[in-house]
Amino acid sequence: MGIRHRTHHDEPLDMRFNTKTELTAMEIVNYWKRTSIEQLLFAYGQEGFAPRITREILRSRPLKTTFDLVEAVRNATPPWYHRRKIHFATKTFQALRIAVNNELNNLQITLPQAVTLLEPGGRLVVISFHSLEDGIVKRFIKEQVKTGTVENLTQKPLIPSTREIAENPSARSAKLRGLRKTVISE
């Protein structure tokens, strides 16, 4: 079969960080409507082949495992897409993981809480792994600087060196941004 991805294991399509929550990736791919899946893949995965992948997901139902989903993405995308630097199913899995765990909303809720907990002089650093997260962090820091409650410690995000990426390929998309609290929050 030749499927290569991070875990190399065929596992249930779950993707929950908290198993007490109800929504799973399996529910999304098997029960959501075409337009909802397509929008999810485009918005959270920034997947250009979202319409084609969605059609193949619907055609391949039921999908129960990670290999089922990888195969659907493989069937929906052109061969050149399979030879890129990142795995061809990465964006699809990213979109599902973000949706299942409500990651972007949780980040927007957590950032202000973290700043509130900091003492003056305290620092908050955030490592993001995709542009959606990084955009939220960047905007949050910019808004906080305008209020005068924090100082931006990273005008540009810190990114991993070529050596670090060679040693840890999953670091390739990491961006670190930081702030220092300057006044007491109300």
- Give the lowest-confidence range in 34-43, 46-55, 88-97, 162-171: 162-171
Average pLDDT over residues 30-44: 98
pLDDT digits (tens, 9 = 90+) for 4-28: 444 468 999 999 999 999 999 999 9
Span 104-147, pLDDT tens digits: 999 999 999 999 999 999 999 999 999 999 999 999 999 999 99
Do 103-181 and 25-101 have the same topology in CATH?
A: no
In angstroms, the Cα distances linking 155 to 119, 133, 138, 179, 184 are: 22, 17, 9, 10, 23
pLDDT at 170: 84
Q: Is the pLDDT of residue 43 over 60?
A: yes
Please report the pLDDT score of residue 2 as a whole number. 39
pLDDT above 60: residue 72 = yes
Mapped onto helix, strand or coil, the DSSP state of residue 37 is helix
Query: Percentage of residues in the chain with pLDDT exceeding 90?
Result: 91
- Tell me how many helices (H) and strands (E) the chain has: 8, 3
**What pTM was estimated for this model as a whole?**
0.86
Interatomic CA distance for residues 176 and 160, integer angstroms = 9
DSSP assigned state of 156: S
Q: What CATH number has the domain spanning 103-181?
A: 3.40.50.150
Q: CA-CA distance, 59 to 150, in Å (whole number)? A: 51
Q: Which fold has domain 25-101?
A: DNA polymerase; domain 1 (1.10.150)
pLDDT score at 184? 66
Per-domain boundaries in the chain: 25-101, 103-181
In the DSSP assignment, the letter for residue 41 is H
